[in-house]
Structure 1
């Protein structure tokens, strides 16, 4: 992997059903993730996806690009904007893309990760440090 290497974008559909499943797995039943009235009452435009779900999807994309989670040494991000999930069968899509920013040495590279929803940046300063030696891309996993 060399600086400038771009990875194929991964698209993940997120519906209200996705949020229910994630709430059950994570134990995060905050009503802003399932109740429009509560979300609007705290100033949100509607129900939003869990930030850690969004981060997890970004991590899943990185794992697909580098051959699995074992190649990921470090992953960090900041949450830039919420992912609003409409109450319909379609939900919304989060698109994750990445580019090699720099080679760090000792078989490590930094990948800058971008995540957007409806054209809005939802993760900021997202980066992954990964092992590049012997990594082969895995097949994307659809959600």
Structure 2
């Protein structure tokens, strides 16, 4: 009887993780991206050179409402599929704006073992620069009291 109760609790606590395609669809709709964004993704080799002489901007990770089951137009869905095919990496599901989509491939290539909590809470630009310079990002999780 006790085992069945614990199994039911575990079943209730299951969490549906948002996939990369859902994240990309939410970004496309929030920032009204179109197929021109795909041409920017073709310039990824030039990105590393631009970052070398780039100042670090301290800015918060943008908030993005990501639905579990997004409803979108056929064009937006096709665009999202093309972006996911082009930028296929595990960090893509943590992106929250077009710039983070762009940076996710280089960030994963430079440092494939960043913790999920850092990816969720720190902008990819800061992670890329801090990892590049050999420093360690120290984050403080937002308290529940601040959200009330």
TM-score, length basis structure 1: 0.25
Name the structure with the higher strand share. Answer: 1
Query: Which of structures 1 and 2 has the bigger CA Rg?
Result: 2
Higher relative contact order (CA 8 A, sep 6+): 1
